[in-house]
Each structure stands twice: as C-alpha cells, then as structure tokens.
Amino acid sequence: MDKILIKNGIVVDPLTKTEVKRDIYIEGGIIKDIPRKQKNNCEDNIIDAEGSIIFPGLIDMHVHLREPGFEYKETIKSGMEAAIAGGFTSICCMPNTDPVNDSKPVTAFLLDKAKRLNLINLFPIGAISKGLKGNSLADIGELKESGAVGLSDDGNPVEDAALMGRALLYARTFDLPIISHSEDLKLRGKGVINEGIVSERLGVVGIPAIAEEIGVARDIMLAGYYGAKIHIAHVSTRGSVDIIRRAKRNGINVTCETCPHYFSLTEKSLLDYNTDAKINPPLRTGKDVEAIIEALNDGTIDAIASDHAPHSKDEKDTTLDAAPFGIIGLQTSLPLTLRLFYDKRISLMRIAELMSFNPANILNLSKRGSLKSGYIADITIADIRKEWKFTGSSIKSLSKNSPFIGEKFKGIASAVMVQGKIL
C-alpha cells in the first residue's frame, strides 16, 4: 500500500483555496504530484471517491481522553475509535487525567500508547501549572521536549493572573501555545447551567455569561500586554466573541475555538433537567448561538473543537446539581458543522479551515491541515449527502453522554486516512 490514488473526489484545500474535482496521489504517506506517466503498478490501490468531499485530515484540538486514571469513562483506544468514526485523523488530549499530564512521563506514556495502537495521531496538551493546581509552573520545557504541542489547565482557569502572565512568557520561550480555559471561578460559583430564564425556571444556580467574558478579557489583556500568543478554548457567548473580535482588530495574537454544541443548542435543552446537556461553559441563549455562527463565518472564531468529555452513565444519572460537566462530541462534530453548511451559513472551505487548517497552524503541526503536495497524507473523506441517525448503539465512546442521541443528520465521514493508511 505504498502508492495510492484517490480518484474523482471534490478536494477542498484551504492552503491553496481550491475546491475542485481532482485526484490525489499518495506515496510513502505523503501527498505528491500525480506522476505524468501514470504507471500501472499503482492502479491496484485506487480509492474511488466519486461524489465525496475530500478534506485535509480533521483535527480536534480539544478532547478529553480519560486515560490514565479514568479508563471507565474513556480509554485512548475507545476515544480514537470514536474519533475515526467522526472523521478525525488527529486529536489533542487535555491533561486533566490522573496523574495529570504535567511532566515527561505522562506525555511519554500517552505517545507510547498511541504509537502501539497505531490508529490516528495523538498530540498531547500539557498542563500550565503543576498538578493543574494553579500554584506553580509545570515543567514546560520538558513537556515540549517530550512531545506536548500546547499547554492548558483546561477544566479550570488559571486564577492567578501573575501565574498566567508568566506562563504566557515562559511558554513563548519554547514556542508552545497556551490554550486558556478562561473563566472567573467565583462568578461561576455553584452554577450549573447558564444564568437566565431557564435557570430561573428550573430553580437552579446559574453561571453568568460574564464569568466567561471577564476571564476571556483578562487573558487577552495579559497576552496583549506581554506580546504573547493565546488561544481561547470553548467560546460560548456573544460577549466573548465581541471581545475577541476587537482584540484581533487591535493586533493581539489571539485565536479561539468554539464547540458544535454552542452553535447547535441553547439553554432550552436543559428544560427537562437533562444532565446530558450539562457542560461548562453552559449552553447559552439563541442570541449567543447567532453570534457564534456569525463569528465562525467572519473569521473571529478560528477553530471548531468538540471538547469531547466522556462521563459514565452512573455519573450523569443524577440531578443537575450533582452531575459532572461535559458531553461527548467526537462523532457529532462534523455532522453538526455540516448542518451550518446546509443552512448556507458556512462553506465547505470554511469547514476545512475551522476543523483542520487552522488547528494545525495554531498548534504548529507542520505539514498537516492541507492537501497540497508535500503534506502528510492525513485525509478525511466525507459523504455529505448520506442521511443517518445518531443512536446510542452507534457510539464508539465508552460513555454515552450526548444530547444529540436520536437526532437525524445529513453527512458523515466515510473514511479516514492517516499517513497514507486507510483506517
């Protein structure tokens, strides 16, 4: 399987800004120019992609695999299987495992495990602070050296602004991006869903939008002041989008991501106390959803990431107050994004940017995110016309905490190729 030809697909490439029907030739795991004289010896490895869309391999830059420590929720293997079903060739795993990925041994464990599984690419995100405790810097140079591609205390914000500022500076020394879970913890308090009409109607404590927005503003100000790069994770409110749009206009080196649920659902999903819709940041209002979609379109938001956060049935089968935050998302990320395409809100090219090209750039993943000759042959083939239903039994994750079970979709990844190998 050294030489492969993918024929007749519509190739969407953000680097060359082309969306045309053409063939892609792969040799030794790398995309190459199609040889002039097509020798017949590669013809036995032809993939007919007639009617399919060919994306550069999708990259989910925000995933919680629960290994090591919480293998009952998800393992590296089960997470990767869900990612493959969802069309991803690369995933980035957050460090809030047990032990926390704040050092070389944990990063090395993750990479070694991924190598032995030999499925898709795993890019670990290391911790900003030791043990995610927010008291001291993790060994950031060592994390980079052992293979971490970014840093985040995701799940919790770095509360101490001095620590965050110095983390931005120190990480810049090693050219590692900081991915910020921006939030004011005291404003979140004991909140469980968005603070608004629904939290009032349900009689539960709300999380105000400003808890996120104040955190986003603070972290952007720190990055701006120190001339450092920052990536804001899971943006969910109109206010955050406005702050980021303004910061970008002012030349601050900020990028951000949102998650499919923030442009697909509102707080109304929680009206029946549905714990499978309890996440942090929480589902917001229709106005926020509209602002997120606008920002996806105008370039304010750079990436779509799932924030895939598996929790067991036992953990979620409880009250809204007691249930943990988080939903799975690897298998619904592309289908939910394709809904925006069918609603004529974003183009296929924009999807390729948001789900592959931009994440690769933000995390400095070289030779990924494009289908140009010379790039690594990480490729997602999607049948965007296929109609299907997301059922509990089709979930590859060990956890089933999704608010989308039972929903009908149009479009799905039909195959993924990692470094020239079809999975």
Partner 1 sequence: MTFDKKDLISIKDLSASDINYFIETAKEFKKISLKDIKKVPTLRGRTVVNIFYEPSTRTRSSFEIAQKRLSADSLSISVSQSSVVKGESLKDTILNLEAMNPDAFVIRHSESGAANFISKWTKASVINAGDGINEHPTQCLLDIMTVMEEKKEIKSLKVAIIGDICHSRVARSDIYGFSKLGADIYLYAPHSLLPRLIELKNVKIAKNMEEAVKNADIIIMLRIQKERASFYFIPSIEEYRKFFQLTPELLSKASAGVMVLHPGPVNRDVEIAGSIINADKTRIFKQVENGIAVRMACLYILLRFQKKNKNK
Residues marked active site are found at 307
In the complex, the smallest distance separating the C-beta of residue 147 from partner 1, rounded to whole angstroms, is 16
Enumerate residues 6+ apart whose C-beta is below 8 A from 246.
none
Residue in 118, 136, 250, 364 binding partner 1, rule: CB under 8 A: 136
- Residue 145: DSSP 8-state: H
- The distance from CA 360 to its chain's CA centroid, rounded to whole angstroms, is 11
Residue in 19, 71, 142, 294 binding partner 1, rule: CB under 8 A: 142
In the complex, the smallest distance separating the C-beta of residue 151 from partner 1, rounded to whole angstroms, is 11
Residue in 162, 203, 251, 393 binding partner 1, rule: CB under 8 A: 162
**Between 43 and 160, whose beta carbon lies closer to partner 1?**
160
Beta pairing, strands 150-151 & 121-126? parallel
In the complex, the smallest distance separating the C-beta of residue 126 from partner 1, rounded to whole angstroms, is 11
Residue in 141, 191, 224, 324 binding partner 1, rule: CB under 8 A: 141
What sign does the dihedral 376-381-384-388 (CA atoms) show? Answer: negative
First to last CA, the chain: 13
Residue 221 interacting with partner 1 (CB under 8 A): no
Residue in 19, 139, 242, 294 binding partner 1, rule: CB under 8 A: 139
Beta pairing, strands 379-389 & 408-418? antiparallel
**Between 130 and 345, whose beta carbon lies closer to partner 1?**
130
Options 21-29, 138-146, 297-305, 327-335: segment touching partner 1 (CB under 8 A): 138-146
The Cα angle at residue 253 between residues 248 and 255, in degrees rounded to 5: 75
* Rounded-to-integer distance, Cα 222 and Cα 242, Å: 17
CB atoms within 10 A of CB 173: 10
* Rounded-to-integer distance, Cα 95 and Cα 66, Å: 9
**Between 180 and 236, whose beta carbon lies closer to partner 1?**
180
CA dist 77 → 26, 141, 398 (Å): 27, 28, 10
In the complex, the smallest distance separating the C-beta of residue 74 from partner 1, rounded to whole angstroms, is 29
Are 272 and 330 in contact by the 8 Å Cβ rule? The answer is no
Residue 250 interacting with partner 1 (CB under 8 A): no
Residue 130 interacting with partner 1 (CB under 8 A): yes
CA dist 312 → 79, 87, 241, 332 (Å): 14, 23, 32, 18
In the complex, the smallest distance separating the C-beta of residue 24 from partner 1, rounded to whole angstroms, is 36
Number of residues binding to partner 1, judged by CB under 8 A: 18
The contact mask relative to partner 1 for 82-121 (x = CB under 8 A, - = no) is: ----------------------------------------
**Between 141 and 191, whose beta carbon lies closer to partner 1?**
141
Q: Which amino acid is at 60?
A: D
**Between 164 and 198, whose beta carbon lies closer to partner 1?**
164
Q: Given the structure tokens 């206009």, which residue do they identify?
A: 249
In the complex, the smallest distance separating the C-beta of residue 157 from partner 1, rounded to whole angstroms, is 15
Q: What are phi and psi of 422, to 5 degrees?
A: -75, 130
Are 196 and 208 in contact by the 8 Å Cβ rule? The answer is no
CB atoms within 10 A of CB 323: 19
Residue in 42, 46, 108, 137 binding partner 1, rule: CB under 8 A: 137
Options 11-19, 70-78, 168-176, 389-397: segment touching partner 1 (CB under 8 A): 168-176
**Between 27 and 159, whose beta carbon lies closer to partner 1?**
159
- Residue 355: DSSP 8-state: I
For the record, the structure tokens of 143 come out as 């994390």
**Between 130 and 386, whose beta carbon lies closer to partner 1?**
130
Residue 364 interacting with partner 1 (CB under 8 A): no
Residue 268 interacting with partner 1 (CB under 8 A): no
Beta pairing, strands 206-207 & 303-304? unpaired
379, β-bridge pairs: 56, 417
Q: Given the structure tokens 């940041």, which residue do they identify?
A: 281
Residue 242 interacting with partner 1 (CB under 8 A): no
Residue 167 interacting with partner 1 (CB under 8 A): yes
The contact mask relative to partner 1 for 186-215 (x = CB under 8 A, - = no) is: ------------------------------
| Footprint on this chain of partner 1 (rule: CB under 8 A) | 130, 136-142, 160, 162-163, 166-167, 169-170, 172-173, 228
